Amino acid sequence: MEAGEGDRLRELRLAALADAPQAFEATLENDAARPARDWEQLAGGPGAVFVAGDWAGMAAVGPDGEDATLWGMWVAPGARGRAAGRRLVEAAAEWARPRGLGRLRLSVSDGAPAARALYARLGFRPTGDTRRLPSDPSCTETAMTLELGFEPRRLETRRLLLRPFEAEDLEALHAILSREDVVRYLYPPPATEQDVRAWPGGSRGRASPAPGTASASPRCAGTPASSSATAPSA
């Protein structure tokens, strides 16, 4: 989905809710009342919406902490049996994997047995968490997850290797910071409270130093923030 396609996404989503109301947390009435800006915002991230063929199905995915959540999965009746569902799930997984998100999570209703069977074939496993479907308490939804097997990105040249920080690097990192001949090229390490108190005027007398490499996150640069996009319920 791209910017400017909010109206078509709305039509597709409402068709899904009309076709299989027992498969979703959201209701046709509530989603039909959403303003146009809600549908347009889905194209802007931080997640993504994938569309099957000529708007014959959809799946949305977004970051959720260290994982990704798949929601809104649906394929139109006329497009079923052609692997559209599998391709949508695979597209969502391929979106999440290079972003360092460890698992793809979803909830599936017992009112959608075909969907649950598809997820199982693709490697999703139940977590053991269940609850009543908000839109239809007579149905139960089950949480399932797929391990994405993220492989950290590496950039290697003849003289440089860039990769995520690992716990085993800490000793070597401290050794680098202790060498006067190289430390001047690095940011100073994070200040302690005692350091701050020793500065003239306290913390207001000097700007805080930039965080050092020792405090770098083990995740790759560019990994999206953990907050989820505002989106219709699955």
Tell me the pLDDT band of 214, cut-offs 50, 70 and 90: very low
- Report the candidate in 81, 80, 74 with the shortest Cα–Cα distance to residue 106: 74
Q: Which domains does the chain have, with CATH numbers?
A: 6-147 (3.40.630.30), 165-213 (no CATH)
Task: Decide: 85 and 118 in contact? Cβ < 8 Å.
Answer: yes
Output the pLDDT for position 193.
59
Cis peptide before 190 (omega within 30 of 0): no
Tell me the pLDDT band of 56, cut-offs 50, 70 and 90: very high
CA distance 42 to 4: 10
pLDDT at 157 over 70: yes
Chain-centroid distance, C-alpha 203: 37
Does residue 28 sit in helix, strand or coil? helix
**Residue scoring higher pLDDT (194 or 218):** 194
Output the pLDDT for position 227.
33
Tell me the pLDDT band of 170, cut-offs 50, 70 and 90: confident
Output the pLDDT for position 207.
40
Task: Decide: 66 and 96 in contact? Cβ < 8 Å.
Answer: no
Judging by DSSP bridges, how do beta strands 161-162 and 155-156 pair with one another?
Answer: antiparallel
Buried b (16+ CB within 10 A) or exposed e, 12-21: bbebbbeebb
pTM of the model: 0.64
Residues pairing with 155 in the sheet: 162
Question: What percent of the chain is modeled with pLDDT above 90?
Answer: 43
Long-range contacts from 217-220, C-beta under 8 angstroms, 24+ separation: 217/165, 218/164, 218/165, 218/166, 218/167, 219/100, 219/164, 220/100, 220/152, 220/153, 220/164
Give pLDDT tens digits for 74-133: 999 999 989 999 999 999 999 999 888 989 999 999 989 999 999 999 999 999 999 998
